[in-house]
Amino acid sequence: MIEYLEPLINGILLGGLYGVVGIGLSMVFGIMRQVNLAHGELMILSSYLSLVFLQVLGLHPLVTLILVAPLMFFIGYLIQILLFNRVMQRGMEPFLMISFGLSIIIQNALLLIFTPDARSLETAMVIKGVDVFGLFNIPLIYLVNFTVGALVLTALHQFMKRTYMGWAINASADNETAAKLMGINVNKVYAYALGIAAVTAAISGVLVGMSFTFYPHSGTQYLIIAFGVVIIGGLGSLPGTFLGGLVLGVSQLFGGRILGPGFQLLSGYIILLIILTVRPQGILGGR
């Protein structure tokens, strides 16, 4: 039993990180019925922005979020106003093309500026461990990831339930025409929504950058994780995204423990396939 406790706990902790990785994709789909293929690049862009602030100002990676998060909100807001809002009414393909194009542009810009070298947001949290009942050690960074992830998802949930902007986002997603009749400028609301999604990208980008090395092309890898999380949990559902992260994290680490480290990613996707077969709308997906 004990030997499975470690992958279970680590899987849950990893899942908290996966939840924030997936939330931006899930939100945009839930609100706009669109898939933002550039979400992974928004994350990695945030990792590099954090790296710059860390080197120039000597801040702790988590503290750089004070600058990176608002900057990413602004970038997300502008992307929606300048690009995405122009094609919202034309089905899914134009949005996919534009966001794919954007992802390539961001990737290559990062490559140009930062070279293809591996980077990381160095912090002592990676080395420090937390002892679990004297049985094994958990890297401190895993605990930080999970805590921040859970906080972000809870804060977002409260924001959606309690604020005018949260209601307006939901109302615009439900019925755009009726939302306009409430005095809502839906284009502006969508821009806020993408801004918020970009803030979640900023947070997950910094967490990921502290936990693993990253390259200009790392975004793709996280987009795939985000897809996994969102498909397992249910598109557009906030609690579903958190649950999806946990399921993916736990199944990866369990698979790795039982079948060997090489099977870690594969076992995650096998679980994804099974869920897709049994419950195509995801565990908590309604629509």
Partner 1 sequence: MPLLEMKDVDTFYGELQALFKVSIEVDRGRIVSVLGANGAGKSTLLKSISGLLETRSGNIVFDGKRIDGLPPHDIVDLGLSLVPEGRKIFSSLTVRENLMIGSYTPKARKQSHKTLKGILKLFPSLHARISQKGTDLSGGEQQMLAIGRALMSRPRFIIFDEISLGLSPLVVKELYRAVKKINQEGMTVVLVEQDVKRSLKVADFAYILQEGKVTLQGNPRHLTEETVKRAYFGL
Asked if 175 touches partner 1 (CB under 8 A), the answer is: yes
Shortest separation between residue 180's beta carbon and partner 1, angstroms: 4
Asked if 279 touches partner 1 (CB under 8 A), the answer is: no
207 or 284: CB nearest partner 1: 284
How far is it, in rounded angstroms, from Cα 198 to Cα 25? 10
Asked if 3 touches partner 1 (CB under 8 A), the answer is: no
DSSP string, 209-268: HHHS-B-TTTHHHHHHHHHHHHHHH-TT-HHHHHHHHHHHHHHHHHHHHHH-GGGHHHHH
Residue matched to tokens 């997300």: 76
How far is it, in rounded angstroms, from Cα 56 to Cα 176? 44
State residue 8 phi and psi, 5-degree precision: -65, -50
Q: Which residues of 8-32 are buried (b: 16+ CB within 10 A; e: fewer)?
A: ebbbbbbbbbbbbbbbbbbbbbbbb
Asked if 89 touches partner 1 (CB under 8 A), the answer is: no
Q: x/- binding map, residues 129-168, to partner 1, per CB under 8 A?
A: --------------------------------x--x--xx
137 or 185: CB nearest partner 1: 185
45 or 169: CB nearest partner 1: 169
Per CB under 8 A, the segment of 16-24, 179-187, 192-200, 259-267 that binds partner 1 is 179-187
170 or 220: CB nearest partner 1: 170
Among 130, 158, 180, 270, binds partner 1 (CB under 8 A): 180
Among 104, 111, 113, 182, binds partner 1 (CB under 8 A): 182
Q: What is the DSSP letter of 119?
A: B
CA-based R_g, the chain, Å: 19
